[in-house]
Amino acid sequence: MENLKKYIGEINDFPKEGIVFKDINPIYKEPKIWNQLMLPLQNLISSTKPDYIAGIESRGFISASALAFKLDIGFIPIRKPNKLPGEVIGLNYKLEYGEDRLEIQKNSFKQKSKIILIDDLLATGGTAGTAGNLIREAGGKLIGYAFLVELTELNGRKNLDSNLIIESIIKY
């Protein structure tokens, strides 16, 4: 997958100073390239047979919902605060500076449903770790996490459950 790196832009100091933002958007404009990147995730999902694919707002929705639609599997959105209607379960988590929060709709799936979590990129792992905990709090059986891109030097895997599947396709 090294050949796909040329389709990923790098923007310095976005969204804030010190961050080198990996811009995956050029890949989404090239269906053949996007397909190449998604194929290993499709295979992973086809072999692990989750009941649902959960995606994290907002960049995670792009690939998670595309995979769910393609593979005929239900999609569960994990969202930023105050976006989901009805009863929700939420968890706060620490960012480098400050705090954030993710929410999931209560009773939105059958208890113990097998769920795989998809996000675009694994950095420190705070977001995916929290989203995974949220799925469990809502009664789901989390089976793993999958990412298009992983920034390995940030060791985000330490914030994920190492007993589960942790897959990333392009590693920096």
The site for ligand AMP (CB under 6 A) is made up of: 19-22, 56, 59-60, 119-128, 156
24 vs 45, which CB is nearer to ligand AMP? 24
79 is catalytic: no
Q: In angstroms, give the least distance from the CB of 41 to ligand AMP.
A: 16
CA 160 to chain centre: 12
**Which listed residue (30, 96, 136, 137) is catalytic?**
96
Helix (H, G, I), strand (E, B) or coil at 4: helix
Please classify residue 85 by burial: count the beta carbons closer than 10 Å to its beta carbon, then call 0-12 exposed, 13-18 middle and 19+ buried. Answer: exposed
Q: In angstroms, give the least distance from the CB of 59 to ligand AMP.
A: 4
Question: Tokens for 143?
Answer: 């089976």
107 vs 152, which CB is nearer to ligand AMP? 152
Query: 3-class secondary structure for 119-160?
Result: EEEECCCHHHHHHHHHHHHCCCEEEEEEEEEECHHHCHHHHC
Distance CA(72)–CA(109), nearest Å, equals: 16
38 vs 128, which CB is nearer to ligand AMP? 128
1 vs 19, which CB is nearer to ligand AMP? 19
Q: In angstroms, give the least distance from the CB of 128 to ligand AMP.
A: 6
CA 19 to chain centre: 19
Q: In angstroms, give the least distance from the CB of 95 to ligand AMP.
A: 7
59 is catalytic: yes
Residues recognised as catalytic: 59, 96
